[in-house]
Amino acid sequence: MNNLSGALPDDIFLPPLLDSLHLYENNLSGPVPASAARAPALAELRLFSNSLSGPLPADLGGLSPLSFVDLSDNALSGEIPGTICRSGALEELLLLDNYFSGSVPESLGRCRSLTRVRLLNNRLSGEVPAGFWGLPHVSLLELTGNEFSGSISPAISGAGNLSKLLISHNQFGGSIPKEMGALSNLYEFSAADNKLTGTLPEELSNLAELGQLDLHNNALGGEIPSGVQSWKKLSQLNLANNGFVGGIPAELGDLPVLNYLDLSGNSLTGGIPLKLQNLKLNQFNLSDNRLSGPLPPLYSMSAYRDSFLGNPGLCGDTPGLCSGTEDGSREHRGSIWVLRSIFALSVLILVAGVSWFIWRYWSMKRAKQRMDRAKWTLTSFHKLGFSEYEILDCLDEDNVIGSGASGKVYKVVLSNGEAVAVKKLWGSAAANKDLECSDHNLYDDGFEAEVATLGKIRHKNIVKLWCCCSHKECNLLVYEYMPNGSLGDLLHSNKSGLLDWPTRYRIALDAAEGLSYLHHDCVPPIVHRDVKSNNILLDGEFRARVADFGLAKVIGKGPKSMSVIAGSCGYIAPEYAYTLHVNEKSDIYSFGVVILELVTGKPPIDPEFGEKDLVKWVCATLEQKGMDHVLDPKLGLSFREEMCKVLNIGLHCASNLPINRPSMRRVVKMLLDVSPENKPTSEKKNGKLSPYYYEDASSDQGSVV
């Protein structure tokens, strides 16, 4: 973060009021000082992405109210201290990508305050304490890439808030407990490359929220349960390289969003259900089973050839598998069709001579507007009810609804009456008014991976990315359409009267939750880089969603070149002028400006301010004239107290010093505290935002570009 190097001083933890230490993403080395265990007020310890080594102090947490510990991506070793949750306040324990050994302390099995646990890629071993499986508030439990043994405890039924259970690449054995069927919030269960045995419990069909199930490379057997039709949100199913028998459940064809299906390397028998043709699969593999019978018509195409290898009983897999009579009959029918085709071709040649002139005229007229559709690549992130061709046909100037820093936006009304927003990303030939692509690369080689990451984001306050269409260097992003447009357009126009204070407050809270999700709950974290009122869109009920990732950058481990100016005038954090570096604190500053817009009704830059921007104008006006000269007069005084509190939150976010700006998670809590009666139901229930999207265990866990 600041390129600090050397060892941590022994006395760095001695100040009695030190409650947090954030020194992540530096070049610090050496051990964590023993004084860390004697800091009486220490609640947050974030030292991830350094080169720290050696064991942790044996009594770390024994005298401290630790709540957030992130020591990921170092070279720390030894055992996890058994005192780390002695205060009972520990919420997050992130120790991934180190060399910790030994077992999980029994005391952590009693740490009921935990909400996120990430211990992946260490050298931990032994059995996991039974209580650790059933912690009631944990939403993420990630033990991937260790040497754990034993079995999954039936006590896991107590983990009612668990959303992601990731335990792949270990030595876990035994059967999958039927008690897992009680995990009503479970979205992802990944236990690949273990030694699990037994069958899939029928109770797993109760997991209505299940989106990903990966159990490949185990020793599971029995039949695949027919109750899979209840997994309506399942997008990925991987049961490869086990011992499953029986037929493929036809009910799999009823799963509306399933796009990844791998049942290879089992002993499945019978035919391939015709209903599987209903699925829109990006990955499909039934190889190395004992399937038989004819292939469904859709799967007879050569594109699916590799999906059925190693099933000698399948007709259509390779030539000659069916009976000789059937082959002979097909050859006879083929000869007849050849003769008919020759006759039809002769007729077509005559017709072509007449129609050629018409075709030639029409093709030349539309030459500049037509694309080679065969070269378009569609990457979908949801089940789609349209094709890329339907999108391309509507991209003309009559449908343009906006143009921003990252591209031109079109409104496309589909054949089913629904609307989507299509963003054509700017290239070097941005001035082109048609759909011609530029001759230069638009983005670096990581573009596709970044878009795939953004497409998998699922959050009520993030605009949904339906799909991405790519053609050489031309890229189209298809988003859900927001009928009420952007907050900026509405707030700074004659329609601002539609936004009373309760609506503005709810918009601020919605946008804060969306940004908090990107910063804290995405792996790797995402910095938006262009937060502004025009990038906060409103649906039909004026609920806000964060949009436009045209300048966003998924954070990786390596250094990234940020040659594009990050942000928009009036929203750019002051430190950017001398660092040319953005992180989540930059987003928080920009969001503070948005809050000030909501409270004052004024744009970030206005002639009224002179040489000041909105932040400086608010500070100066408060000091010289008082609060009433800052608040938007159109809002009246009925909610003056709430408006003052929200204004102070905005000023806190827009602090000149990044270290003084709160995290987005803290901003959400402060906004909720302004008007507790507006606290969302999910927030009242467990005090946490929805669980974050998980991408790749090897991704960096830093939160700064």
Catalytic residues: 530
Q: Identify each DSSP E strand in 472-570 by its residue range.
A: 474-480, 526-527, 536-538, 544-546, 553-554
- Residue 250, Cα to own-chain centre: how many angstroms? 30
* CA dist list (Å): 36 to 62, 552, 566: 10, 36, 37
Alpha-carbon distance of 425 to 242, in angstroms, equals 44
CB-based burial of residue 497 (10 Å sphere; 0-12 exposed, 13-18 middle, 19+ buried)? Answer: exposed
Query: Annotated binding residue at 424?
Result: yes
CA distances from 446 to 426, 442, 453 (A): 17, 11, 11
Instruction: Dig out the tokens for 40 from the structure.
Output: 């009486």
Burial of 581 (0-12, 13-18, 19+ CB in 10 A): middle
Alpha-carbon distance of 177 to 168, in angstroms, equals: 16
Burial class (CB in 10 A: 0-12, 13-18, 19+), 82: middle
Lookup result for tokens 């390129």: 3
**By the 8 A CB rule, do 601 and 632 touch?**
yes
- Helix, strand, coil in percent for the chain, rounding step 5: 30, 20, 50
| Euclidean distance between CA atoms 540 and 618, whole angstroms | 31
Rounded Cα distance between 195 and 305, Å, is: 31
Residue with tokens 């992180």: 583
Q: Where are the beta strands (DSSP E) in 157-224?
A: 164-166, 173-175, 188-190, 195-197, 212-214, 221-223
| Identity at 304, one-letter amino acid code | Y
Question: What is the rounded CA–CA span in Å between residue 650 and residue 604?
Answer: 13
Of the candidates 262, 256, 257, 266, the residue with the CA atom closest to the CA atom of residue 310: 266
Angle at 652 between CA 651 and CA 658, to 5 degrees: 115
**Tokens, residue 23:** 């020194």
Pair of tokens at residue 329: 């009959």
Q: How many CA atoms lie within 13 A of 420 on its CB side?
A: 25
How many separate helices (H) and strands (E) can be counted in the chain? 12, 36
Please enumerate, by residue number, every residue annotated as part of a binding site for ATP: 424
Please enumerate, by residue number, every residue annotated as part of a binding site: 424
